[in-house]
Chains A and B, each alone.
Chain A
């Protein structure tokens, strides 16, 4: 395959600056950082501009902003309860950032930040560490109840404890793998199918185009649902951290 036409080329990190290493770290501004910055700017613009007028009967953008906020608010109320409300800004930021990164990736010639496990894992690790700290601060030594489910027979406690610890450690890994794999799989599939168009010629080449149109719709759905699932699971873990199951 010619250079630049591989389906995996879209995930390449490109340096946009040529900064010298600082203490051995490469601090170049990359296309990934660029799209993260764009996502942040777009989120701020969306929320600030949409809520500028604050009408009683919301317009299109205002109701979009309100709906996304209410979605998170409802999610927290249902999964965590009233104690979780003070974390709603954190959960909302996570949701919006992942959603915008996913959706930005759907634009042609753009870069999908969330298709890189480095990004999603840092996210998941941040959430994981934060929730662990919250659990310890709130419950102190009672945190151990998180690893020993109620009704465990005495002789099984050591085994169950270690199994639960591993199940707990697996959380950020599974969160990040899920998001990155979903985004990467979808985008690769689209490029692979797009690669069929020219070789199939003018007669049969239309079939992949139709398929891509359908898949694009599906990918937008996946982009939204994955942001939702990441947030929902964060809420579920927050519930564990606050209410200990």
Chain B
């Protein structure tokens, strides 16, 4: 029984090996989904910066100090996310 299992394992390994040879793993790039990803990252960062800043200002009554700071940070944050999106694809 154990022998059978070994045989199966060997067979499985060689099948996997052959499969890898047939289709080497290349990162599947889908241009439209990348574009959508970047757009949503861009919107999200700005939106979060705006919301956080605006609400902090409402809380401390300091408009537009936090709004401007957080807005800039949000834009930087979305730039960071977009950069990562490309860097990971590398």
Interface SS of chain B: helix, strand, loop or mixed? helix
The answer on a CB contact under 8 Å between B49 and A166 is yes
Chain A residues in contact with chain B, CB under 8 A? 162-171, 173-175, 177-178, 181-182, 225-226, 229, 236
Of listed A165, A168, A174, residue having the most chain B CB within 10 A: A174
Known contacts A166-B52, A166-B74, A167-B77; can you find 19 more A-B pairs with CB under 8 A? A163-B77, A167-B45, A167-B81, A169-B52, A170-B44, A170-B47, A170-B48, A170-B74, A170-B78, A173-B43, A173-B47, A173-B48, A177-B44, A178-B36, A178-B37, A182-B36, A225-B33, A229-B37, A236-B88
State whether the Cβ of B68 lies closer than 8 Å to any Cβ in chain A.
no
Complex contacts, B73 vs chain A, CB 8 Å: 162-163, 165-166
Chain A residue nearest to B40 in the complex (CB): A178
C-alpha gap A169/B73 in the complex (Å): 11
Closest beta carbon of chain A to B11's beta carbon, Å? 13
Complex contacts, A229 vs chain B, CB 8 Å: 33, 37
Interface SS of chain A: helix, strand, loop or mixed? helix
Chain B residue nearest to A167 in the complex (CB): B77
C-alpha gap A182/B36 in the complex (Å): 8
C-alpha gap A164/B78 in the complex (Å): 9
> Given known contacts A166-B77, A170-B48, is B70 in contact with A177 (CB within 8 Å)?
no
Complex contacts, B33 vs chain A, CB 8 Å: 225-226, 229
**Complex interface bits, B68-86 against A, C-beta within 8 A gives 1, otherwise 0:** 0010011011101100000
How many residues in B have their beta carbons less than 8 Å from beta carbons of A?
22
Chain B residue nearest to A178 in the complex (CB): B40
Complex contacts, B48 vs chain A, CB 8 Å: 166, 169-170, 173
Chain B residue nearest to A149 in the complex (CB): B80
C-alpha gap A169/B81 in the complex (Å): 11
The answer on a CB contact under 8 Å between A167 and B78 is yes
Interface positions of B from 5 to 64, Cβ below 8 Å from A: 30, 33, 36-37, 40-41, 43-45, 47-49, 52
